[in-house]
Amino acid sequence: MDRPAAAAAAAAAGGGEGGGGLGPGPAGGRRPPRVVGAPAAGSRQPSVETLDSPTGSHVEWCKQLIAATISSQISGSVTSENVSRDYKVLRRPDIRALRDGNKLAQMEEAPLFPGESIKAIVKDVMYICPFVGAVSGTLTVTDFKMYFKNVERDPHFVLDVPLGVISRVEKIGVQSHGDNSCGIEIMCKDMRNLRLAYKQEEQSKLGIFDNLNKHAFPLSNGQTLFAFNYKEKFPVNGWKIYDPVSEYKRQGLPNESWKISKVNSNYELCDTYPAIIVVPTSVKDDDLSKVAAFRAKGRIPVLSWIHPESQATITRCSQPLVGPNDKRCKEDEKYLQTIMDANAQAHKLIIFDARQNKVASTNKAKGGGYESESAYPNAELVFLEIHNIHVMRESLRKLKEIAYPAIEEARWLSNVDGTHWLEYIRMLLAGAVRIADKIESGKTSVVVHCSDGWDRTSQLTSLAMLMLDSYYRTIKGFEALIEKEWISFGHRFALRVGHGNDNHADADRSPIFLQFIDCVWQMTRQTPIHQNLKELLAVRAELQKRVEDLQREVAARASASSERGSSPSHSVTPVHTSV
């Protein structure tokens, strides 16, 4: 397997530059201050990370364009205490020097989003880059990002890091960098480790470390996320891009077997489910409440997708609360039978349990469990043997260690194999394929769940739906898929990613959505022609229409010229209709 596929999860670390390369410390503990020097001489510089690469140049050009178009008066944010007394002396200004200085200042300014404000500006900061060595420049900290820029290089060196991507910030000692004796190391969620060195007085005056900690982890410091300060106006209201009723109607719902229900409109049935759900028509609301009491977190089986021809369905839920005494719920058993009966072409219901068999058995001893054949005689239980969030987190940590900042070419494949990342990606894709195959080829309805039904369940249902329904392979459809299967059904984005929280050792963090994106990337690599096919066909149809209009216009001009008895001033070239 090629390296890009193996390092798909590391793609986010590319950016326009590179970062430091120190591995994470012991789990659950903060590391003591360390002394670090300049990068080791002769270290390999990956071609994708160089400043003068086509990608790097394009990113830099885009950033300069944004800086030129977004109005950001940084100078207005600097307090009078920071203004040098030399500027208060009444003397004739050097116009040329002022112009050059203003130009330089503008080039160093950080582009701001509407609602974004600057918290600190520090000059003469040293970024210790593992690829190009130490780079001096100006560091700007806002309530959204950390922005470092050197304008003396050609092209300019820019390090633009959204604060939300920062996992933790630690103080370090530095050497061999002159007066810049203080330093910080920034561990990022996108696999980068960034190291900065600066003067002691700058830390005392501006509190670089404190500012970064405060604004990178606002929830841990009694503040709100920057999203609530974001003021940009958009031509389209993003909150209305996904409409559940419209999406279910697109699927042909409601019908005689399934109804669109508002039983959860006040989130009383299940507080992690959407307000609008699709359930079997014949099931009463009272029975739904009893089923909810038998499912973890009240997450009852509800429809995610229905096949337009066979009426086979994908339904999702959480584990049943069977417990060590094999507790049963007749309403839940009848409910799953009703789901099976809604599909007249099959006489069996396949239950895909994403967990490992042994883990499901352990959960049963703790009050959870799985569907037994004795309680659900018309159901077939299949364990997909996918590991839990803790295993996935450890796999990503190992992947970071081998992929950044340098790759050991001689042992690359064995190192990747040792992370098990691709093995877990394969297991997810294989599970989704099995679900899609049962729906498409077997014409059999399926139920998908893990423990709580918001991690592996979301991965599997959304991937299977992406395979089955071409609508989800369009931009708008992909947006709807994520809104529906991930956001509305309660995937814990903030907890899994650690948004705004400084507890980097939180055991609930895990790259669940990142794995889904990697799986989607793998799918686009395997079958690129199928992606956005509808949009491509629509573009082709529009081009064909314009060609035909052009043909008619040319023919009309030629006819008018003939009627006047004169030859056109130029020859009429036939327009070919093939697009």
Binding-site annotation, residues for substrate:
363-366, 388-389, 450-456
DSSP assignment of 274-305 equals -SSEEEETT--HHHHHHHHHHBGGG---EEEE
Q: For the chain, how far is it from start to end, CA to CA, in angstroms?
A: 36
DSSP assignment of 462-506 equals HHHHHHH-GGGGSHHHHHHHHIIIIIITT--HHHHHTTT---TT-
- Could you give the CA distance from residue 250 to residue 42 in angstroms, rounded to a whole number? 58
Backbone φ and ψ for 327, nearest 5 degrees, come out as -65, 145
Rg (Cα) of the chain, in Å, rounded?
Answer: 29
- Joined together, the tokens standing for residue 482 give 């994520």
Handedness of CA 162, 168, 172, 176 (dihedral sign): negative
- Could you tell me which of 204, 199, 234, 70 has the C-alpha nearest to residue 144? 70
Residue 326, classified by CB atoms within 10 Å of its CB into exposed (0-12), middle (13-18) or buried (19+), is exposed
Triad 387, 388, 389: Cα angle to 5°: 130
Look-up of token digits 């058993």: 333
- Could you tell me which of 317, 451, 289, 466 has the C-alpha nearest to residue 379? 317
Mention every residue, 6+ apart, whose C-beta is less than 8 A from residue 68: none
Binding-site residues, please? 363-366, 388-389, 450-456
Pairing mode, if any, of strands 258-261 and 277-280? antiparallel
- Could you tell me which of 276, 313, 341, 351 has the C-alpha nearest to residue 465? 313
The helix (run of H) or strand (run of E) holding residue 446 is: strand 446-449
How far, CA to CA in Å, does 577 sit from each of 79, 109, 322, 408, 539? Answer: 65, 51, 65, 53, 14
Estimate to the nearest angstrom the gap between the alpha carbon of 419 and the chain centroid: 21
- Joined together, the tokens standing for residue 10 give 């590391």
Neighbours of 337 (CB within 10 A): 16
Can 450 be counted among the known catalytic residues?
yes
Tell me the helices (H) and strands (E) count for the chain, helix number first: 17, 15
- What 3 state SS string does 224-265 have? CCHHHCCCCCCCCCHHHCCCHHHHHHHCCCCCCCEEEECCCC
- Joined together, the tokens standing for residue 149 give 């820029």
- Could you give the CA distance from residue 359 to residue 383 in angstroms, rounded to a whole number? 10
Look-up of token digits 């950390």: 146
Catalytic residue among 129, 270, 317, 450: 450
Q: Which residues are catalytic?
A: 450
